[in-house]
Chain A
């Protein structure tokens, strides 16, 4: 099985629908889809509760979901990551790749009535560069943002940044109102909890621990939109309670695997619920095993190769990810244009693994055990715990006795990134919209940053890899950039500081009365202006 891709998955869910005897309903929906209906309240899951509602210095998933309804970005993106207008209506890039000129939308007003101008854009880009966790690197080359007139903003760079045009979505790079953020500490700005934006929804209330209520912005620049009257983001911390809420209709929509994958087959049997796997191009998660290269055993390449041969990625795909994933033996996933499809996963070959371990000087001792290792897993969702359990059972077959260690998120991060008291880990990282932003940080030797989560955990250092990453980050020729990244993938595939396994496909669960919830690469991190509810 080459992985359950999106198309086969959609086909199978259609088949399930037909089996449930509901073709008439789908036809009715197709007919209704042409005329969006105004009105209604959409109940959407937000999990966990975000710390703030503005994603300019907080990039946790729920903050991006909450922020993008109120605050907009310069651009939106279609499913192929081609930019579409949002606050910018047109854009040009100078041939040397150092000047990005944006023509801004006219007659746009902030929710407090102030006009939106290029000064807001210039201010926001400066802010992103100084306080956004990724903006520091994304906008590192920005020297200044000039504003020749109120409707034009020009981002000027010292070096090219070929990923910049993909980073301007509402969630990733929100445009905030200068008149409300210019004075005082932006991190303590009261509008972080009660945002004022240009988006289709206005902030109404936030009851901590319960819900965030947004109401329709009647003066939205996109005439007639949004279609719904109110958007309620509900906080439901218990996974089983979320499943129940989808069943009772208390929830209409939820993204990023809103229910446990074990519950999904049961819920998709229900006639009112449907599954969507598109809309996660901005996250693009990757499940992997990180080795501590300072570990006396694991610093030996042969041991890492043996582990790679002993782990069957198909089992990870089918059993750990329940089929909602595709194989990705390289850090740049198949969804990316820079993915090197020539690299196949390490062959599942126990004999080869045993030979490598023998050669490395770890023969089977009494009881058949060659060596003992401890495995930590990222305690986020339950997928990485399952992956760790599989690693334990898989490595037992080649004589590696693995102890799985469990801890909560801050303890895990401190152990791996600050204290470095670990052997190897099951972990997931988001590889994001471009390798320069999402992948480079994991392999670049200059990103060996003690205490910084999701930096270079193995402490991998290779001068050639550094050179390739640094060149690709400023390469404006697309073909050359592809070549650089393919070379990079081949080297880290051989050096094996990280064993890349699968790219999990995130799932959105929605009531069938919700139309157009996923219309762009941003998915539920889009602005939901197009959503409407069937009667």
Chain B
């Protein structure tokens, strides 16, 4: 089978599996959310600090909350089949528009954090594996343990206190500098300054995992016969480490990264809150608190699709890394 055909088969299989998965996610999420006590009208009335029976009725009618639950589910699915994610009562705008305005921010944050975590994790893991049992391995192991066990929001807050409050190098929150029109390099530099702290905070946990994982996988691969063969035929040690050991050690890593994509979305909610980053994680969190179910369903649906897409990419990547897979 040619490589192209193999890739196409993987993509087709994933697509067929994705459809019922997504539908199941939508229905399950909808019913689970309906189990939560209180609705959007309760929240709005509660925040307002005043309400009357009539204003509550007006709000419920406007949000469609006066309909039976199955009726609401059906109308949501009908909307969905027309590629509409519905309307947010709280934000008073289409959910799709709301999500699309937040999505680039979240992708930027997650992309930066994930790239950073993978790059640093793999390098640290390779260093640890190369000097396994020696002092660089020991020191980095302790560091990895520290990163692994420290909660992200705490690291974020300390980073703000150090880099924003005391040193004044980086902004304490937000994603752009307000009130100035920046173009070209200045715009890029501004974006980098804003994304640096949240991305670093978000990645610490994953750096630790990837470093440990790379180390373990490399140590295992190092003992295999083909590595001895490569060494025996006189290849440079660096070439053996990178081409033979690391490449094979990357397969478990890619699997875990694919799974972590979903976890990262969850972790982003905390980081986004600490850094006032207008992303999807915070939108989801706010939607839970506000019982804004159409927004929450939209975010969950989109997240599940992102996770499926990420897994597809991982499958394709693994097929490329190891031709036996697929």
Measured CB to CB, the residues of A under 8 A from B are 41, 43, 48-49, 51-52, 57-61, 131-134, 136-137, 185, 187-188, 192-193, 207-211, 213, 230, 232, 234-238, 240-241, 244-245, 247-248, 250, 380, 407-415, 418-419, 429-430, 441, 449, 451-455
| B:170-184 near A, CB below 8 Å | 171-175, 178-179
> Closest residue to A421 on the B side, CB-wise?
B37
Instruction: List A contacts of B92 (CB < 8 A).
Output: 51-52, 188, 192-193
Distance in Å from the Cβ of A480 to the closest Cβ of chain B?
Answer: 27
> Closest residue to B285 on the A side, CB-wise?
A237
Contacts A241-B173, A250-B172 hold; do A449 and B52 have CB atoms under 8 A apart?
yes
Q: Is B190 an interface residue (CB 8 A)?
A: no
| Best-surrounded residue of A236, A247, A453 (most CB of chain B within 10 A) | A453
Instruction: List A contacts of B43 (CB < 8 A).
Output: 409-410, 413
Within 8 Å by CB of A248, from B44, B164, B282, B289, lies B164
CA distance A281 to B62 in the complex (A): 32
Distance in Å from the Cβ of B237 to the closest Cβ of chain A?
Answer: 48
Q: Is B323 an interface residue (CB 8 A)?
A: no
Q: List 19 A-B contacts (CB under 8 A).
A: A60-B44, A131-B55, A136-B55, A207-B101, A208-B91, A209-B279, A237-B273, A238-B153, A240-B160, A244-B173, A245-B173, A245-B276, A250-B173, A407-B37, A409-B46, A413-B42, A449-B52, A452-B51, A452-B56
Instruction: List A contacts of B77 (CB < 8 A).
Output: none
Cβ contact within 8 Å between A453 and B289:
no
Measured CB to CB, the residues of B under 8 A from A are 36-39, 42-56, 58, 62, 90-93, 98, 101-102, 153, 157, 160-161, 164-165, 168, 171-175, 178-179, 273-276, 278-279, 282-283, 286, 289-291
Cβ contact within 8 Å between A241 and B165:
no
Cβ contact within 8 Å between A236 and B48:
no
CA distance A188 to B276 in the complex (A): 28
Contacts A193-B92, A237-B276 hold; do A244 and B165 have CB atoms under 8 A apart?
yes
Cβ contact within 8 Å between B38 and A241:
no
Contacts A208-B102, A241-B157 hold; do A133 and B276 have CB atoms under 8 A apart?
no
| Best-surrounded residue of A60, A193, A411, A419 (most CB of chain B within 10 A) | A60
Cβ contact within 8 Å between B48 and A209:
no
Cβ contact within 8 Å between A453 and B42:
yes
CA distance A237 to B279 in the complex (A): 12
Within 8 Å by CB of A213, from B90, B168, B178, B291, lies B178
Cβ contact within 8 Å between A238 and B273:
yes
Cβ contact within 8 Å between B44 and A58:
yes
| Best-surrounded residue of B38, B171, B274 (most CB of chain A within 10 A) | B38
Cβ contact within 8 Å between B179 and A187:
no
Instruction: List A contacts of B58 (CB < 8 A).
Output: 131, 187
Instruction: List A contacts of B171 (CB < 8 A).
Output: 248, 250
CA distance A75 to B200 in the complex (A): 50
Cβ contact within 8 Å between B49 and A59:
yes
Contacts A209-B283, A210-B174 hold; do A414 and B274 have CB atoms under 8 A apart?
no
Cβ contact within 8 Å between A452 and B38:
no
Contacts A410-B291, A452-B45, A453-B51 hold; do A51 and B90 have CB atoms under 8 A apart?
yes
Contacts A208-B101, A409-B38, A409-B289 hold; do A59 and B273 have CB atoms under 8 A apart?
no
CA distance A430 to B42 in the complex (A): 17
> Closest residue to B176 on the A side, CB-wise?
A210
Within 8 Å by CB of B49, from A60, A411, A449, lies A60
Within 8 Å by CB of A57, from B55, B102, B286, lies B55
Cβ contact within 8 Å between B45 and A240:
no
Within 8 Å by CB of B52, from A185, A415, A452, lies A452
Distance in Å from the Cβ of A299 to the closest Cβ of chain B?
Answer: 25
For the complex with contacts A210-B276, A248-B165, 4 further pairs of A-B residues with Cβ separation under 8 Å are: A208-B278, A237-B273, A241-B276, A409-B289
